[in-house]
Amino acid sequence: MIDTGTDIEFAAKCIAEGNLVAFPTETVYGLGADAFNPYAVARIFEVKQRPTFDPLIVHISEMNQINDLYDSDISDIVYALAQAFWPGPLTIVHLKSARVPDIVTAGLNTVAVRMPSHPIALELIRLSGTAIAAPSANRFGQLSPTRSEHVQKQLTDVAYLLENEYEMVGVESTVVSIQNGKCILLRPGAISLTDINKVVPCTVFNKDSSLDKLHAPGLLKSHYSPNKPLYILAEDINNLPLNSGLILHKKLTTITNANRIISTSETQNSTEIAANLFIALHTMEDDTTVSQIFIEPVEETDLGVAIMDRIRKASYRYNLNLVESKVIPNRLST
C-alpha cells in the first residue's frame, strides 16, 4: 500500500529529495518526479513499466518556468495558447532547452509542458521548488486513474499519494505541438479543438503533417485498456452474452440481461460522461461477475471527441477483428 494523506508540504519534500509522488490534477492522477533529476524520472518509467520511448509531460506552476524548459526562441503561438488555457488541461509541445534531461523527452528535441489548474497540483509544484515530470499514474497501457484507489490498485513503490477533494475532468489534457509556426493536435483531450481554433488555427495530426510518427509517440492505437475485453456497443443490440457489464451514457436501455449496468450520466452530458468514464471502467474491471464490458459510443463533438478517442483506444485490441459499429455479441467468445 502506498502511504496516503493530504500533507502537500511532505509530498513536496519527497519530490525535492528525488522520490515519487502520486498527485491529483484537474484531468487525472499524475505520478510525479523532479523533472530536472534524471534518476528520479527514471523511477517513473520503472514504477509505471512504461517504455522509455514515450516522453513525459512537465508540470509547472509559474509562467516563467517555461524559460528553463523550452528553447530560448519561444513561439508567439505558445504564449497565445498559454494565455488562453493555462492554468488548465492543455499540454504544449515545443523545442526544448538543453537543461531538460533526455529521459523526460525520450531523446526528442521537444518537451511537453502544462500548467495544471488543480489547487493541490499547483501547490505541490510551488512548494517543491521545481517543475514536475508526470505521466498519468497508471501502469503503462492500463486505465488512467481518477481516484486515489485507482492508483493504489495499479502502483507500488511510490513515496506518497495525495488524496483529492476536488472534481476532475476525467480525461487527460489535450496535447498540441507548436513547431515551425504551426499548431498540430497530437491528442484530443479536455480542451476541444474548437476552443483552440478560436485562439490559433490548429489541425489534427495526420501522416501529411510536417511531424513524423516519431514526434507523435502518444498516438498508439491501443491504450488506456481495462484488463478484460471491452466492446463498443452497436445500436441494434438487444441481448448481451453471459456475464456482461454495460456502460451507458443515458438512463434507459432496452437491454435487460447485463450483469451490471453503470450509467455515466443520466442526460448524456459530456462533462459528466468524461468525469465518470474511467471510474465506470475501473468499477467494471473490479467486478468479478463481469467478464466482458460493452460501452455505448458518444457523439463526437467537443469533449465527445476525447471521450470517443479513449473509448476506441481502450477497446482497440478487443475490436481488432470486428467492424466497430457492428459488434456482434455471439462472435465475441474468443
Question: Which positions lie near Mg ion, rule CB under 5 A?
Answer: 136
**Cα–Cα distance between 270 and 277 in angstroms, integer?**
10
Between the alpha carbon of residue 177 and those of residues 61, 233, 271, the distances in Å are: 20, 33, 25
Kindly identify the residues of this chain, within the stretch 97-156, that bind ligand TXA according to CB under 6 A.
Answer: 105, 108, 110-112, 134-136
Task: Give which of ligand TXA, Mg ion, none residue 290 binds (C-beta under 5 to 8 Å, depending on kind).
Answer: none
216 in contact with ligand TXA (CB under 6 A):
yes
Note whether 225 and 211 are within 8 A (CB): no
Alpha-helical segments (H) within 49-113: 66-69, 76-85, 102-105
**Cα–Cα distance between 62 and 127 in angstroms, integer?**
12
Cis preceding-peptide flag for 38 (omega within 30 of 0): no
Give Cβ neighbours of residue 94 (< 8 Å, ≥ 6 apart).
Answer: 70, 71, 74, 75, 78, 110, 111, 113, 177, 178, 179
27 in contact with ligand TXA (CB under 6 A):
yes
Residue selected from 22, 40, 93, 298 as contacting ligand TXA according to rule CB under 6 A: 93
CB of 105 to ligand TXA, least distance (A): 5
Residue selected from 22, 37, 47, 55 as contacting ligand TXA according to rule CB under 6 A: 55
Chain-centroid distance of CA 133 in Å reads 14
CB of 172 to Mg ion, least distance (A): 6
CB of 190 to ligand TXA, least distance (A): 7
Nearer to Mg ion, 22 or 248 (CB): 22
**Cα–Cα distance between 27 and 115 in angstroms, integer?**
12
Kindly identify the residues of this chain, within the stretch 63-92, that bind ligand TXA according to CB under 6 A.
Answer: 89, 91
Residue selected from 77, 103, 175, 307 as contacting ligand TXA according to rule CB under 6 A: 175
Nearer to ligand TXA, 233 or 279 (CB): 279
CB of 54 to ligand TXA, least distance (A): 5
248 in contact with ligand TXA (CB under 6 A):
no
Size of the site for ligand TXA (CB under 6 A): 28
186 in contact with ligand TXA (CB under 6 A):
yes
Residue selected from 187, 249, 282, 310 as contacting ligand TXA according to rule CB under 6 A: 187
C-beta nearest to Mg ion: residue: 136
Nearest to residue 226, comparing CAs of 171, 291, 130, 157? 291
161 in contact with ligand TXA (CB under 6 A):
no
Note whether 241 and 333 are within 8 A (CB): yes
CB of 32 to ligand TXA, least distance (A): 8
| CA end-to-end span of the chain | 35
